[in-house]
């Protein structure tokens, strides 16, 4: 136990002194019975760790690991996943502690969806991800062409994996190259446009289509007349996901262009500090409901 925990602390300490570019790449996969069992075991271990953390008022990873690791011995799971469950629970408890400190109302946290997260014990061999299922037994997940292309790039290292009931996500990292910049450029996010510029050049990116998509989605959801809250919620969720996908694509294209120009012109991107902006647009400030919805969106 001491060796595993010390490796975990050493890894976190080491990463804190390295500038890494971290992203994730995912794909679909077909789970087996053993994998589904591990997903449910991991969820239960996370909830047990959360319960222990709440009873002992512990939210730090080190203290929660010392309190929870022996308690998780009852689960028939590789020790790699026990450390991952403790880390996951520590993140949930830290987020709850932050909300309490800010004065937000919180509920007792718990993990709902079965999942499996680990940064230990996995291997990438012969175009597949091999993870331990039990003692001496591994499960191999074939990786898609896109995932293999991403993780095979120079300098890219796979740090961890996350499994849900039908998705595999790999967290990859690489050293972020440092470059000398000659100037700065500011970014101003408005309701219908994105303005980027400095004293020499100003560029406006039209995002009015995002507002039209959001307004259309609101009108469609408001037109539902079926007297069944569960059905309305399900259909509204599908329209909400469609709205997120469409607006996300537009925003991604705009921000990708901004970053590409910044790299080409060797400029530093400066973002405005919008902390506390939601307090400006809330009920009781003398603003219309539609206006508050648009600004908070």
Dump pLDDT digits (tens) for 23-66: 889 999 999 999 999 999 999 999 999 999 999 999 899 999 99
pLDDT of residue 13 exceeding 70, the answer is no
pLDDT in tens, 55-97: 999 989 999 999 999 999 999 899 889 999 999 999 999 999 9
Q: Are 192 and 162 members of one domain?
A: no
The sign of the CA dihedral 43, 49, 51, 57 is negative
132 or 279: which leads in pLDDT: 132
- What integer pLDDT is reported at residue 136 of this predicted model? 81
- What integer pLDDT is reported at residue 158 of this predicted model? 92
Report yes or no on 51 lying in a domain: yes
Report yes or no on 11 lying in a domain: no
Q: Of 129, 145, 175, which residue is a domain's last?
A: 175
Q: Per the structure, how many domains does the chain have?
A: 2
**Average pLDDT score over residue span 252-263:** 92
Domain assignment of residue 254, given as a range = 183-296
**Average pLDDT score over residue span 146-169:** 92
Q: Are 166 and 206 members of one domain?
A: no
Q: Are 63 and 139 members of one domain?
A: yes
Report helix, strand and coil shares of the chain as percent, to nearest 5: 50, 20, 30
Q: How confident is the model at residue 19 (pLDDT cuts 50, 70, 90)?
A: low
For strands 167-175 and 157-163, give the pairing: antiparallel
Element (H, E) at 230: helix 229-265
**Average pLDDT score over residue span 232-253:** 92
Q: Are 82 and 117 members of one domain?
A: yes
- What integer pLDDT is reported at residue 10 of this predicted model? 39
pLDDT of residue 101 exceeding 60, the answer is yes
Q: Are 287 and 263 members of one domain?
A: yes
Q: Are 197 and 154 members of one domain?
A: no
Q: Of 175, 194, 224, which residue is a domain's last?
A: 175
Report yes or no on 229 lying in a domain: yes
Cα 129 off chain centre by: 21
Report yes or no on 5 lying in a domain: no
Q: Are 71 and 117 members of one domain?
A: yes
pLDDT of residue 284 exceeding 80, the answer is no
Report yes or no on 155 lying in a domain: yes
Q: Of 144, 175, 206, which residue is a domain's last?
A: 175
């Amino acid at each position: 136990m001491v060796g595993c925990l010390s490796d975990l602390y050493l890894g976190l300490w080491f990463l804190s002194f390295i500038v890494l570019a971290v992203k994730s790449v995912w794909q679909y996969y077909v789970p087996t019975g053993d994998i589904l069992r591990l997903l449910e075991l991991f969820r239960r271990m996370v909830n047990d760790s959360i319960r222990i953390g709440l009873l002992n008022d512990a939210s730090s990873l080190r203290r929660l690991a010392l309190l929870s690791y022996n308690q998780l011995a009852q689960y028939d799971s590789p020790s790699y996943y026990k450390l991952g469950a403790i880390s996951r629970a520590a993140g949930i408890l830290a987020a709850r502690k932050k909300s309490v400190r800010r004065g937000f109302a919180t509920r007792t946290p718990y993990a709902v969806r079965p999942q499996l997260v680990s940064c230990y014990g996995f291997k990438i061999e012969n175009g597949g991800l091999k993870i331990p299922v039990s003692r001496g037994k591994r499960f191999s997940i074939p990786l898609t062409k896109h995932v293999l292309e991403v993780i095979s790039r120079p300098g890219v290292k796979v740090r961890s994996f996350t499994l849900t009931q039908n998705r595999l996500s790999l967290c990859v990292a690489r050293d972020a190259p440092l470059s000398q910049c000659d100037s700065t450029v500011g970014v101003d996010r408005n309701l219908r446009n994105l303005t980027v510029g400095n004293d020499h050049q100003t560029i406006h990116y039209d995002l009015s289509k995002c507002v039209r998509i959001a307004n259309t989605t609101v009108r469609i959801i408001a037109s539902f007349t079926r007297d069944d809250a569960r059905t309305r919620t399900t259909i509204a969720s599908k329209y909400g996901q469609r709205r997120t996908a469409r607006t996300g694509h537009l925003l991604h294209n705009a921000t990708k262009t901004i970053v590409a120009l910044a790299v080409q012109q060797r400029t530093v991107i400066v973002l405005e500090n919008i902390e506390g902006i939601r307090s400006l647009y809330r009920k009781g400030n003398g603003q219309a409901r539609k206006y508050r919805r648009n600004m908070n969106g």
